[in-house]
Amino acid sequence: MEMWIKEMQIEGAAMTYKVNETLLRKKTEFQDLAIVDTPSFGRMLVLDGIVQTTIKDEFIYHEMITHIPLFTHPNPKKVLVVGGGDGGAIREILKHPSVEKAVLCEIDGDVIEACKKYLPEISCALDDKRCEVFVGDGIKYVKDHKNEFDVIIVDSTDPFNMAEGLFGGNFYRDIFDALTEEGIFIAQTETPYFLPDTVNKVFNDAKKIFPVTKMFMAGIPTYPGGYWSFTVGSKKHDPSKVDTSKIKIQDMKYYTPELHNACFVLPQYVKDVIGEK
188 among annotated binding-site residues = no
Was 31 annotated as part of a binding site? yes
> Is residue 173 classed as helix, strand or coil in its secondary structure?
helix
Q: Which ranges of 94-241 does DSSP label H, i.e. alpha helix? A: 109-118, 120-123, 138-143, 169-178, 196-207
The crossing angle, in degrees rounded to 10, of helices 196-207 and 169-178 is: 40
Q: Is 9 assigned to a binding site?
A: no
Mention every residue, 6+ apart, whose C-beta is less than 8 A from residue 243. none
> Are 148 and 141 within 8 A, CB to CB?
no
Contact 228, 220 (CB under 8 A): yes
138 marked as part of a ligand binding site: yes
Q: Determine the Cα–Cα distance for residues 224 and 101; give it in Å rounded to an integer.
A: 33
Q: Write 253-256 long-range contacts (CB < 8 A, 24+).
A: 253/59, 253/60, 253/63, 254/59, 254/60, 254/63, 254/64, 254/218, 255/63, 255/64, 255/67, 255/68
Is 32 labelled a binding residue? no
Q: How many CB atoms lie within 10 A of CB 137?
A: 15
Q: Is 238 assigned a catalytic role?
A: no
Which one from 57, 108, 110, 155 is the annotated catalytic residue?
155
Cβ–Cβ under 8 Å, residues 170 and 177: no
63 in Cβ contact with 133 (< 8 Å): no
213 known member of a binding site: no
Is 251 known to sit in a ligand binding site? no
User: How many Å apart are CA 199 and CA 204, to the nearest integer?
Assistant: 8
Name residue 141's amino acid: Y
Binding residues for S-methyl-5'-thioadenosine: 31, 106, 137-138
Q: Which residue numbers are catalytic?
A: 155
Binding site members for spermidine: 62, 86, 155-158
Q: Which residues are annotated as a binding site?
A: 31, 62, 86, 106, 137-138, 155-158
